[in-house]
Structure 1
Amino acid sequence: MSLHNIKVFVGCDPNNCDLEQMMVLDYSIQKHSSSPVDIIWMQLSHDSSSFWFADAESKSGWRTEKWATPFSGFRWAIPAYCGYKGRAIYMDTDVIVLSDLNTLWRHPIEGNAVVAAKGGKSTARLCTCVWDCAKAKAVLPDIDRLKNDPDAHQNLMKKIKAHPELVQPYQDHYNCIDGEDLDISEIKILHYSDMGTQFSHKYSIPRLAKNDTQHWFDGEILEHPRQDLAQLFDQYYQEALDAGFKLEDYMIEPYGTFYKASQKKYKGNQVTRDTHQASWFKQLIQKFKPENKTFHLDD
């Protein structure tokens, strides 16, 4: 990993469920970036020498049982992985990059802030963010505590909520959640975040079924409301194949069973799910409620 390249850390499944997402993300980064990019795939591993080692039976390495995804807590480990030096971009694997990452890479992280993320005064989404690894050292627990505490991910979310000044907000469309009513030309990084409507399911689920394997997402699968975005994924998927990218290049020895929270009751988000079913009375009440000052974070 070069010290001079843009470093992108990507959280992804350890059982080859996300191959299509990984290929499309990789291709989209290379297509648009004007600088060299190093991608570090963060996947659970049985290799005790791996930074991402986890063994549920012995309760050693990463404790994942309270995570929503197989990689939820990995984002907090990135500054330690980098030796608390330089910068690092984190993103989930369900992302298509539609702009040059150089601009995001150089985004200011000022004052007490240790990470740049989408948000404002009352919200932040750390699912695509930029770490100042040196500044983060004073805020994050040491790596052993981070790995061994099953509540670490939730506790750090609470810490960020209590101290929103730790987040430098970027207001541009670098973490566009499922379209947000924007034209594709306005989106710089598309995060097709709703796990139930992800464009890759139509490829990955049949592929996994051929090998008698199931996807890690166990919730209801629905059609995404933005067909133009679904077509965009298909376009990038085919472009990647035509450019010589192959799903096999992203395969690893499957990790096997891991512990995480179930998504059987997963509700998605307000962008992808029908929010018009609420009664007119409930909508009226919401309209005139006092402004909520609570600081919100993604999971």
Structure 2
Amino acid sequence: MDRIMKTNDTIRVFVGCDPNNCDLEQMMVLDYSIHKHTSMPVEIVWMQLSRDPDSYWYSNPETGKGWDTTKWSTPFSGFRWAIPEYCNYSGRAIYMDADVVILDDLAKLWQHPIKGQSIVAAKANADMTRLCTCVWDCDAAKNVVLPIEKLKKDPKSHKEMMALFKKNTQLIEPYQNSYNCIDGEDLAIEQIKILHYSDMGTQFSHKYSLPRVSEEGIEHWFDGEVLPHPRQDLVDLFDTYYNEALTAGYDLESYRIEPFGSFPKKSQQGYIGNKVTRPKASKSLFAKLFKR
């Protein structure tokens, strides 16, 4: 049965981002791109680690309370699973990483049918399951996704939830791949609905954020090698949206918060990106794994 009638009048967008102001450029461009294209009201929740015990995203690495991030690759990897409970298991919610540019009306993704046993609409095919841009049916997720307290305490919960969805593909309603286009893939810009510049080493925002955080005396959360993105047209697209946002009155300072400080996470030294941005590196890794 199609559960599209459970959608809300306001699109709820939950965005995973850094808690130490490293992602301000990404946040500004994402915010601007959402409002540039979307025909419905939008509410954005920036999901960032917080020192406030009353925050849903509370973490205290020194005492071991709140979210345990030790096994995460990013400062927000496990937050996506907490969204249905945050929404009181009611209505819909879109999750996306901060490294995204919206190029089409987000209302179309918001209204995507979620049918049968599916509890989330996402990119899923034979060799890839990606929940980095997805639409939750929060009510349907209640008996599948772990409760918030278990998600917080177990640093392996993120990996375990991903494994659950990859094994039980009936939980995922596949949507058009261009709603989570990874680093351009083989598509022209006109064919992309949501651009996810997913390779953490080639992100368009680095040329703005790395000099800024260095000047501010901050260490960026990504500690891997920084490389140029292979598609100049997408680099130019990000630059255009960045400058349009500034011209439209958007301001990096609007997204700045009190820095969280240090937190544990997996190192990205040796990170090889993906087969779109670095096909040779991906093939090399596959060969090494096959040899083992």
Match of 1:295 in 2: none
Match of 1:33 among 20, 29, 38: 38
Q: Could you say if the C-alpha distance between residues 181 and 150 of structure 1 is closer, same or farther in structure 2, counting changes exceeding 3 Å?
A: same
Per-residue deviation, 1:214: 1.5
- Paired residue total: 279
Match of 1:293 in 2: none
- Checking the alignment, whether the CA contact within 8 Å between 2:272 and 2:282 is kept in structure 1 is no
Q: Could you say if the C-alpha distance between residues 162 and 234 of structure 1 is closer, same or farther in structure 2, counting changes exceeding 3 Å?
A: same
Match of 1:43 in 2: 48
Match of 1:240 among 231, 240, 245: 245
TM-score by length of 2: 0.93
**CA-based RMSD:** 1.5
- Checking the alignment, whether the CA contact within 8 Å between 1:119 and 1:171 is kept in structure 2 is no
Per-residue deviation, 1:4: 2.4
Match of 1:220 in 2: 225
Distance (whole Å) between structure 2 residues aligned to residue 33 and residue 81 of structure 1: 23
Match of 1:203 in 2: 208
SS of alignment partner, residue 124 of structure 1: strand
For residues 102-124 of structure 1, the C-alpha deviation after alignment (integer angstroms, 9 at most, x for no partner) is 11001111111111001224532
- Checking the alignment, whether the CA contact within 8 Å between 2:122 and 2:131 is kept in structure 1 is yes
- Checking the alignment, whether the CA contact within 8 Å between 1:124 and 1:169 is kept in structure 2 is no
Amino acid at match of 1:23: M
TM-score by length of 1: 0.91
Amino acid at match of 2:263: F
Match of 1:250 in 2: 255
Per-residue deviation, 1:171: 2.3
Per-residue deviation, 1:276: 8.6
- Checking the alignment, whether the CA contact within 8 Å between 2:118 and 2:172 is kept in structure 1 is yes
Aligned pair 1:62/2:74, yes or no?
no
For residues 58-98 of structure 1, the C-alpha deviation after alignment (integer angstroms, 9 at most, x for no partner) is 11110100000000000000000000000000000000000
Match of 1:131 among 126, 136, 142: 136
Match of 2:29 in 1: 24
Distance (whole Å) between structure 2 residues aligned to residue 53 and residue 20 of structure 1: 24
Per-residue deviation, 1:141: 1.4
Amino acid at match of 2:62: E
Unaligned segments of structure 1, at least 5 residues: 287-299
Unaligned segments of structure 2, at least 5 residues: 1-7
Match of 1:149 in 2: 154
Amino acid at match of 2:192: I
- Checking the alignment, whether the CA contact within 8 Å between 1:120 and 1:171 is kept in structure 2 is no
List structure 1 segments (4+ residues) > 4 angstroms apart after TM superposition. Answer: 276-279
